[in-house]
Amino acid sequence: MRGCVRRAVVGLGVMLGAVAVAAVEPDEREASLRLAAKGRIELAFSPWNDPEASLLAAIDEARELILVQAYLFTSKPLARGLIAAHRRGVRVEVLLDAESNRPRSFSVMPELLAAGIPVAVETRYNIAHNKLMIFDPDGGSHAAVATGSYNFTRSARVANAENMLILRGNSALVRAYADNWRRHRGEALALRSLDDLPARDGKRDGKRDGRESDR
């Protein structure tokens, strides 16, 4: 009897795993990209370094476009930096994980929307786990991308063990990130206000079964 129960539990786990990865079927998978390694790398480890300061400097340097993709976004300084860039004429667009950026999460989504920054939320995936800022992808020598484990939160800055890279001087790499961002944006739900957020799906106590937490 105990063996039957064990097999049933394993079978259920396999079924749940299949559901989790069903967003892309195996025969739809694409080959990974291979790009030439070149350019300059800025590396920051928190809590010893200050990734947020590096991001704020990159935001200030942007001239035309900043694309943001975030799982968690609660950092007020980063929100203010993006709003300031928007107000000086830089086009700023933001993609967020729908479930991790609801009003009770302390997300900066309301501030971004109030400032007139286009915000869309990703709902297709169990977790929209990217943490990216893409700067001037069509700007030649000014193109850069920031990526790593670093969420845009105070905890990531002062309490977590995180890493972040800012990659400059490789326009093909930055374009690849921008193309992927636009692909995600094409699937996302644009918001005019918080009222446009979709209803929670498969939630218990505010968390979807199986969703990991980076809080």
- The catalytic residue positions are 129, 131, 136
Residue 187 burial (CB count, 10 A): 14
Residue 52 backbone phi and psi in degrees, to 5: -65, -40
Task: Tell me the C-alpha distance between 164 and 178, whole Å.
Answer: 18
Residue 158 burial (CB count, 10 A): 11
Q: What is the CA radius of gyration of the chain?
A: 19
Residue 183 burial (CB count, 10 A): 10
